[in-house]
Each structure stands twice: as C-alpha cells, then as structure tokens.
A and B are shown apart, each in its own frame.
Chain A
Amino acid sequence: MKVLENLYYSKDHEWVRAEGGRALIGITDHAQLGLGDVVYVELPEEGAEFQAGDAIGVVESVKAASDVYTPVSGKVLRVNEELIDSPERINEDPYGSWLAELEITDENELEGLLSPEKYKALCLEEA
C-alpha cells in the first residue's frame, strides 16, 4: 500500500498536492484498494465553492458509491475529465488521478492535515 512523501492526507483517505495557492485532490492507494474496481466518478462543477470537509464528488465501485470529501476549502478551477471515460485510472494510478483542482481559500488549513507518517499510522490502526 503506497503513501507518497510530498502530499498531505485526510483521515477520510484523500490526498492533497498543494502548490502556489492551488490544491489537487484525489483518493489514496488505501482508499482505492478498499473500494475495489472503480466504474464511475462524479466530479464537481467548475466554479463551485466548498468548505473543508464538504463532499465534492463520488467514486463508485462495482458494489458501492463512496463520497469524496475535500480536505481544504476552495473554489474548483478544473476537474479531471479523463476519469469520466476511464474511471479505472483511479485504481491503476491513485496519486496520478486527481479529481479536482481547487484554488485554496486558506493555506493554514494544510497544517491541520495528516503528514505521510501520520497517515501511514492511521492506515495501520484501521487495519
């Protein structure tokens, strides 16, 4: 189960890649392993605004629909259209398959997220 070093993590198994006031959001390797084969994604609208913790999309596996929550507050700049036709990319490359890019409202929120070490520990705890 992979955990990348240069990312922030949420306790709901989302990852955040933050750079220059923007954040890419996706779901972790742990999350995609738990879901199984992903067959459908619902992405947010461009321009939509969210608070940290809001549901911004849905990832559906064969068996179930799973909400994706944004770990940070922000406005959607763009979404990853590729996932609409190829949702299986989330299984194949969870850290390369960002769902949405947000313009971050408050950089300080990143401090409240989990470091890679803390996230690894969380995953071990949940096992």
Chain B
Amino acid sequence: MDHLLKTPLYPAYGEYGAKIVDFAGWALPLQFEGILPEHHAVREAAGMFDVSHMGEVEVTGKDALFYLNRLLSNDITRIKDYQVQYNIMLNENGGAVDDVLAYRYSDQHFLVIVNAANRIKDVQWMKEHAQGYQVTVNDSSDDVAQLALQGPKAIDIMKAIIGEAAEQIRFFRFSDSIRIKGVSCLISRTGYTGEDGFEIYLKPDHAADVWRYLLEIGKEYGLKPAGLGCRDTLRFEACLPLYGHELAEDITPLEAGLGSFVKLEKQNFIGKQALAKQVESGVSRKLTGFEMTDRGIARGGYEIRKDGKKAGYVTTGYFAPTLGKNLGLALIDAGFSGPGNGIEVVIRGKSVHGVTVETPFYKKKYKK
C-alpha cells in the first residue's frame, strides 16, 4: 500500500473493516461488509462512498463559458448559476478524452469534476486548449475531498444533518454555503448509482470527521459505508457509462448511446466535425444491453459473436444484484444492436447464449 495514493479518509477505513485495493494508483476500499450487502443498502436505504480520488479542475476567467463550450459536448450556455451538467470532453475524432460533470458558479467560474484515472491527461488537455482564451485552468484536486451519499434515504439523512436546506438542493443543482459540523461544504444533488443522492465536496482537513459523523447519524436509516465494488455494479445496472469501458478515446458518445449529451447545433467545438459525419453515415457499432439466456456470467473484454461470427465485445458485465440476472453491456455491430437479437458470449472458450435487451436495466430513481 506504501506506493499508492491515499485519500484524507484512508485513516478511517480500518474502523469500518475496509478491504483495500489499488484503483488507478489509489488505495481505496473495494468493499466493507461485502459488495452485495452494500449494493442492496444503496438501493433500499443508503450507502456512502469515499470518492476523494476524483479530480477537481477550476476554470475561471472572462472566457470561461466560451472556452468550456468549445471543449465539451453539451451546450453549457444552457445552464444557470449553481447548476450542474454532464458532459463528454471530446478529442478531434469525436472520441472521449473523459466524461465529466461541469458545475457553474457563474459564467466566469466553473468547477469541472474529472475521473481520477484521467486527471493528469485532462488537465494537460484543458491547459493546452486554453491558449488564446482569457481563462485560468487550475487543478485543485489535492485540496478537495469528496463523499457520495446515495440511496432513497439519503434525503432523510441529509435533513437530519442540515435541516430543510437539504430539500433546497434540487436535482443537478448545488449549494456551496452549507456547513456540516462547522465544516464548509459544496453539496450537489448528483450521483453515479441510479438512486437519489448527494455528492459532498470539502477540504481534506476534517473530511474523515465528517465521514464518521455522517455514518453515525445515518446508521438508524440503514446507511452503510460502500466501496468501489458496488459502485460499479450500481452504475452498471442503471447503465451509466464508465470511462475506459463504455467511453474511451476511440469510442464516441454516439456509439455509447449518449447522443443526448452532444449538441451538434452549437457553434464549433472540438469533435463536432467528426460527430456530424458519424450522424450522417450512421454509427457502425453501438452500445447494447444484453441478458444471458444460458448459464454464465459475461464480463468486460469477452468476445461477442453473432451466428458464430465475431460481432463485438463486452464493455461491462456482471451478475446484477438488484435484478438477479446475468447482464451485460457490449459494443456490437449496429446491425443487431436493437433488442431481441440472439448473440453468443465467449466465456472461457465456449459460446454461451444471450439476447439483446432494452436499456436501462434498472430505471433511475432520481428526484427531479
């Protein structure tokens, strides 16, 4: 563990029985009590994740709005102060540099949340493309801890802690004037589980105390500490993309079924030409959900065949705990990406049958 990066909450992990693994060079909990109980807790009550490894990039200056609108796929001029927007940061080929959340304080001040594994790459990309704009790009990740409180009971727990102010934080909005135990927090109604919930950003110094406090208050509501293991099974069931699997430098948001987050009608942005061409010619491969019909679990990387011929590969696959079935997401030839197509998944050298299905597997329970 010595060579791994540690979040400000690392000292507290042992108190909760964390099983720690290396994730993108960070020592993070894979699980506490177990992936299945934590997954069920998030769906039925609440779970809390340490996501301090994520990156936070401050973008400030006169040209901040214009600059970001060039860098990102969605139309960021559409959001108001204290609103959050999901975006894909694109390369010139229309592929994804990363998928991010952009928080707008004002048209001259944004906070961009990036994936931990891409932080260095993203900051470099953002700084390179800031040339010629009156904008400052600052990586403030080392100064920010982040917790995610997710589940149907998250709102009740938040109310127990900050009162009615919790109800004022609406879906994909944030407040930066909240204090928890005297600690200043930015709190957004966002998350990566398909459940209602909050993401809490705060300075590292007292983050471990806030973590312990939240778990203490949340206990009577069924709140459990939750790790990376169930974070992946939860987002998978809700069909939320994971960079490196459903999105990558060579996977476009159109291939990944994220076209609604790409606004081709906006003025020139990086990747616009490439994506416009892809809309015209149609995508050759598409992200599709499938269900196993024979015994077997499909996993990321496994080959997909159609009538014996190679047709794609699994991007993520699991035994889905809430749905109780073996499911998967795959990038397959656009020809049979609609639901109801029989496919074969190659598991340990054998072809095992599955069928394409509608997505999402699990309908999101956001409080909009």
The interface of chain A, by Cβ under 8 A from chain B, is 36-37, 39-40, 58, 60-63, 65, 84
Residues of A within 8 A of B233 (CB): 62
Residue among B36, B299, B321 with max Cβ neighbours from chain A (10 Å): B36
Tell me the complex Cα distance, A62–B297, Å.
10
The answer to whether B318 has its CB under 8 Å from any CB of chain A is yes
Q: Are A40 and B35 in contact (CB under 8 A)?
A: no
CA distance A84 to B296 in the complex (A): 11
Expressed in whole angstroms, the Cα–Cα distance for A61 and B34 within the complex equals 11
Contact check, A65 vs B297: say whether CB atoms are below 8 A apart: yes
Nearest CB of A to B21, in Å:
9
Inter-subunit contact B348/A62 (CB<8 Å): no
Residues of the B chain whose Cβ atoms lie less than 8 Å from the Cβ of A60: 297, 319
Q: What 0/1 pattern do residues 321 to 346 of B give for CB contact below 8 A with A?
A: 10000100000000000000000000
CB of A40 within 8 A of CB of B34, answer no
Bound-state CA distance A63–B233 (Å) is 9
Which of A37, A65, A84 sits near B35, CB closer than 8 Å?
A37
Nearest Cβ in chain B — how far from A126, in angstroms?
15
Closest to A39 in B: B319
When distances are taken between beta carbons in the complex, the residues of chain B under 8 Å from A61 are 35
> What would be 9 A-B contacts, judged by CB atoms less than 8 Å apart?
A36-B19, A36-B35, A37-B35, A40-B295, A40-B296, A40-B297, A60-B319, A63-B35, A84-B295
Interface residues of B in 21-69 (CB under 8 A from A): 30-31, 34-36
Expressed in whole angstroms, the minimum distance between the Cβ of B184 and any Cβ of chain A is 36
User: Could you tell me the distance in whole angstroms from the C-beta of A81 to the nearest C-beta in chain B?
Assistant: 12
Docked-complex contact B299 and A65, CB < 8 angstroms: yes
Q: By the criterion CB–CB under 8 Å, are A62 and B318 in contact?
A: yes
What is the CB-to-nearest-CB distance from B8 to chain A, in angstroms, rounded to a whole number?
A: 26
Mark each residue of chain B from 91 to 114: 1 if its CB lies under 8 Å from any CB of chain A, else 0: 000000000000000000000000
On chain B, the residues within 8 Å of A37 by CB distance are 34-36
Chain A residue, CB-CB nearest to B35: A62
Q: What residue in chain B is nearest A88 (Cβ atoms)?
A: B36
Given contacts A36-B229, A37-B34, 15 further A-B contacts (CB under 8 A): A36-B34, A36-B35, A37-B35, A39-B297, A40-B296, A40-B297, A40-B326, A60-B297, A61-B35, A62-B36, A62-B229, A63-B35, A65-B297, A65-B299, A84-B295
